[in-house]
Structure 1
Amino acid sequence: MELEVRHLRALCAIADTGSLHKAARQLGVSQPSLTTQLRRIENSLGAELFSRERSGCRPTPLGRAVLSRARPLVAEMAALVVEARAAAGRAGGPRLRIGSTASRALAGWLRRLRQRLPGTDISLHVDVSANALLRMVAAGQLDVAFVHEVEGCPLQVPDGLSVRVLVEREPQFISMARDHPAAATPVVELADLAEDRWIVDPTVDGEWDGLRRVLGAAGLNPRVLHGDYHTAASLIAVGEAVAPCQPTSGPRDDMAIRPLRGDPLAVRLLLFSLPGAYELYEAVYADLEGAYREAASRAATYRHWLLRNNSPLLPAPVTCVP
């Protein structure tokens, strides 16, 4: 078996994330497929490149040696692709490449940008990993990235990126079954959820560490399930789990969304870009801010929270770019 660039890229992803599961999500492949690929690479070299531990995958001495040669090759290939795409973009007209973690503001943001920048090819790349999106901006694969940073879990920001803070501290609410006893109150005490199972997606950067920190500080050690939030919704609706959620989350007939007393869970909302094109990025930020205000005003529970906390987010009029 001859090693190809895709094999080297897979090795780098496993080393960077420390997990086959996270690496598979980053690469857009299934975990069994990536596991099989790694096994074939190791078989062709005649030795293990990673030691599998309970805490994740760690490079062996041979793995570190291979990675030291692989990383420059992968970086060079990525640079070649970026330069080729940039040349093609210049030939094909203006474009704007957006990256984002999941957000209710995305639809409104894209609508505003298309109104502001007619004739511009606007693309969207959504990823659960904020760190992966930041690496794509640094590599020139994205122009901007809208991400959230879990409180107490700083992002790994590459050198040279510019950042604008959209929201300094966005509270994370709790989603639960509509008939959950805690749903009868407008604000939920964390202790009232001590007997519940909590579900969290460990592939979202900082999500599990942030939740574990808050639960530990409250003296709680509830049962925790790991899974993606699409699966979580079905479990929450039938009362099998509760989960943190964005305050802009929309209402559902089978689910209640409530703030936590004291807002112990929070994130920062950030927009990253490469330096330059100041006027464009200011416009991109302005449209994102308008879209976020719109999403906040639509979510009744969040709107009430903003009013109670005298937030400057809500009073501003919601307008679209003409």
Structure 2
Amino acid sequence: MELEVRHLRALCAIADAGSLHKAARQLGMSQPSLTTQLRRIENALGGQLFSRERTGCRPTPLGRIVLSRARPLVTEMRALVAETKAAAAGRGEGPRLRIGSTASRAIPGWLRRLRVRLPGTEISLQMDVSANALLRLVAAAQLDVVFVHEVEGSPLRLPESLRRRVLLDREPQFVSLAADHPAAERPVVRLGDLADDRWMVDPTVDGEWDGLRRVLSAAGLNPPVLHGDYLTAASLVATGEVVTLCQPTSRGRADMAVRPLFGDPLGVRLLVAARTEDELNAVYGELEAAYWEAARQSAAYTEWLLRAGDPRGATGGPLVPATR
């Protein structure tokens, strides 16, 4: 069996959806057909690409390697098709901005500001759990700019050809736990308060599992750790099944609390990268404003910033008018 673009697209869909059922629906095919196709792909490559778990499908180590090569190819093919259709329709190619990002609550505000500042520009967004994969896409000119998170102790592999700017040198990582968890009554949670809890982490996020493992080990803890995506984790946190690390811009819910960890044992650095300084300048101000807008919307983060003596907890940081 020779792999085709449609096979790579199917693999990406399964990884993004987290389940065969959802991926099949997105691809417009039946689940049995997609299951059969995946089995043939795995046979052709000689190994299992996804582990079937109760919470869905997760890429295996081999699967992550294949996906890291498949995603750029699928992205490039989509761009080729779009550009070819535009040329065939006689439309000149207008300005475009291809953004990549790891998960962040700043993304909606960033896109909103960019669309106001850059009218007529076609803005696309590609999300990925792997910051390193996004950086490679910028270096290969398949994306223009990326916003990524670098977990403390796990440096990213930044291509030498890229320019970077640090949005925040150290963003503390908080913990999310069920609203009725005893530790949720405290404004700051100690790791020892969670000694009897199961944790959940997404091992496909660059550096995330290593960072959590270091923090737990330093605290003398060795709790059971489940692997899964953070959408699933949120559901399990709400029911008290697990606790998990989260970004400080995360907002609590009626069934889930977000709290800082005592001593801020784990942090991440927030980076923006592009091939030129001009590309960085074109997007950085809007991202900075969007980040602090998201920070203001998190009560736990706002309080943490004020306790740390950071005035951005009250002002939201430097705001850039969307009409600039």
Provide the TM-score with structure 2 as the length reference: 0.77
Report the CA distance between 1:228 and its aligned residue.
1.1
Partner of 1:25: 15
Distance 1:261 1:160 in 2: 38
Partner of 1:285: 284
Change (3 A) 1:40 1:293: same
Map 1:235-314 to 2 at 5 A.
235-275=236-276, 278-311=277-310, 313-314=312-313
Percent identity of the aligned residues? 58
Partner of 1:132: 133
Task: Write the deviation string for residues 77-131 of structure 1: whole angstroms up to 9, x where unpaired.
Answer: 9889878978969932101011111111011101111111011111111111112
Unaligned runs of 5+ in 2: 24-34, 51-59
Task: Write the deviation string for residues 193-236 of structure 1: whole angstroms up to 9, x where unpaired.
Answer: 01101011111111111101110111100111111111111111
Report the CA distance between 1:312 and its aligned residue.
5.5
Task: Write the deviation string for residues 265-309 of structure 1: whole angstroms up to 9, x where unpaired.
Answer: 21111111112xx34421301110010011111111101111111
Task: Write the deviation string for residues 128-156 of structure 1: whole angstroms up to 9, x where unpaired.
Answer: 11122112111211101111011111122
Distance 1:78 1:231 in 2: 26
The number of residues matched between the two structures is: 292
CA contact (8 A) 2:42 2:49 kept: no
Change (3 A) 1:50 1:250: closer
Q: Secondary structure at the match of 2:92?
A: helix
Partner of 2:155: 154
Distance 1:118 1:165 in 2: 26
Which amino acid is the alignment partner of residue 303 of structure 2? Answer: H
CA contact (8 A) 2:288 2:319 kept: no
Q: Which runs of 4+ in 1 moved over 6 A?
A: 26-29, 49-52, 74-90
Cα RMSD after superposing both structures: 3.5
Task: Write the deviation string for residues 175-207 of structure 1: whole angstroms up to 9, x where unpaired.
Answer: 011111101111111111011010111111111
Which amino acid is the alignment partner of residue 107 of structure 2? Answer: L
2:98 matches 1:97: yes
